[in-house]
Amino acid sequence: LRAQWFARIAEAADESALETVRVGALGKKGEVSLKMRELGKMTPEQRQTAGPALNALKDELNSALAARRASLADAALAERLRAEWLDVTLAPRPSRRGAIHPVSQVTEEVAAIFADMGFGVAEGPQIETAWYNFDALNIPGHHPARAEMDTFYMARADGGDPHVLRTHTSPVQIRTMQAEGAPLRIIAPGRVYRSDFDQTHTPMFHQVEGLAIDRDISMANLKWVLEEFFAAFFEVDGVETRFRASHFPFTEPSAEVDIRCSWVDGQLKVGEGDGWLEVLGSGMVHPKVLEYGGIDPSQWQGFAFGMGIDRIAMLKYGIPDLRAFFDSDLRWLRHYGFAA
């Protein structure tokens, strides 16, 4: 009897099998329990030997059951530790996180700096009428500036005047004047298009327009705003600007603006040195342009500027080739992109 139950305890493969064995031996109707009940029918002599023997067997079985239960629990734990083992020294899986494109990053930076100076953000359509892109900006049909702009024209199914892909963000000046009137302080970032392609030109690129209209705006305001902007954007104490006389049909007078810079070991340093870098076109808004925008030029005047976003992104982040901006090469995006 004893050997048989010990063998069953040793064979129990898990805790529930062990419980079945326990009930079979020591449960109410268990074999050992029944034997103990038979003690009553025995003679006193028989009982004197069988009683202690059965009690001893019961104790032995109980301790064997406890020992087996403990070793089964140990084995179960060991198995879990083995199965759920994790090598924390393994290299992480490559992350599929995206990155912010330098153009988006720089657009945000520009908008934040101008917001601090009270400029809101305005937008206009990329498919524009020739009137907004040219005529309302004082560029009449015969004007050479139309030809110089390498315009993409879009034939219309109804045979009407062709639309254009806007060649600059300046039409947003007119749209915002018409929509909001004076006074006005806005920037207008966005995509523009010209049929031109080489290392420094792509047929689609980004500009940001600036426009401030008020009672007595002057070129001095323009210069201050631009110098504040460049110092903040290039994260330097100050940036000197140089205004060169120029011509745009929609500003009078007009100026191209350079910033002071130098090249040290192939790295651009903005704000110091004896070099100059052209960064934008600007001027005082032409009275005829104010009129096209529905604003009275005898009461109001303003300044405007237009700057290449891709260009200042290249300068700030040391990106050599403009064409790579729009190749959608993931390695390039990972290298020059910004954490989201």
Q: Which stretch binds ligand PHE (CB under 6 A): 9-17, 107-115, 155-163, 281-289?
A: 281-289
Taking CB under 6 A as the criterion, the residue among 9, 282, 284, 310 binding ligand PHE is 282
Shortest Å, Cβ 310 to ligand PHE? 13
Q: Does 281 bind ligand PHE (CB under 6 A)?
A: yes
CA atoms within 13 A on the CB side of 72: 17
Buried-state track 207-233, b at ≥16 Cβ within 10 A, e below 16:
bbbbbbbeeebeeeebbebbbbbbbbb
125/104 Cα distance (integer angstroms) = 18
- Kindly report the CA angle at 272 between 266 and 274, in degrees rounded to 5? 80
Shortest Å, Cβ 168 to ligand PHE? 3
Q: Which of 316, 133, 330 is nearest to 231 (CA)?
A: 316
Q: Does 168 bind ligand PHE (CB under 6 A)?
A: yes
Rg of the chain taking only CA atoms, in angstroms: 43
**Closer residue to ligand PHE, CB minimum distance, 228 or 278:** 278
Q: Which of residues 222-261 bind ligand PHE (CB under 6 A)?
A: 248, 251
115/110 Cα distance (integer angstroms) = 8
Cα dihedral 60/62/67/69 (nearest 10): 150
Please give the structure tokens belonging to residue 198. Answer: 């080489």
Site pattern 26..55 for ligand PHE (x: CB under 6 A): ------------------------------
**Closer residue to ligand PHE, CB minimum distance, 102 or 249:** 249
Q: Which stretch binds ligand PHE (CB under 6 A): 49-57, 123-131, 181-189, 304-312?
A: 304-312
**Closer residue to ligand PHE, CB minimum distance, 151 or 251:** 251
Q: How many residues bind ligand PHE (CB under 6 A)?
A: 11
Widest Cα–Cα separation across the chain: 136
Shortest Å, Cβ 226 to ligand PHE? 12
Q: Is 227 annotated as a binding residue?
A: no
**Closer residue to ligand PHE, CB minimum distance, 170 or 176:** 170
Please give the structure tokens belonging to residue 85. Answer: 């083992």
Q: Does 284 bind ligand PHE (CB under 6 A)?
A: no
Q: Does 114 bind ligand PHE (CB under 6 A)?
A: no
82/77 Cα distance (integer angstroms) = 9
Shortest Å, Cβ 129 to ligand PHE? 16
Q: Does 132 bind ligand PHE (CB under 6 A)?
A: no
Q: Which stretch binds ligand PHE (CB under 6 A): 87-95, 179-187, 276-284, 327-335?
A: 276-284
Please give the structure tokens belonging to residue 69. Answer: 């239960």
Burial class (CB in 10 A: 0-12, 13-18, 19+), 132: buried
Shortest Å, Cβ 283 to ligand PHE? 5
Taking CB under 6 A as the criterion, the residue among 186, 306, 309, 325 binding ligand PHE is 306
| Parallel/antiparallel/unpaired status of strands 267-270 and 241-248 | unpaired
Binding site for Mg(2+): which residues?
A: 252
Note the residues at the interface with ligand PHE (CB under 6 A).
Answer: 168, 170, 209, 248, 251, 281-283, 304-306
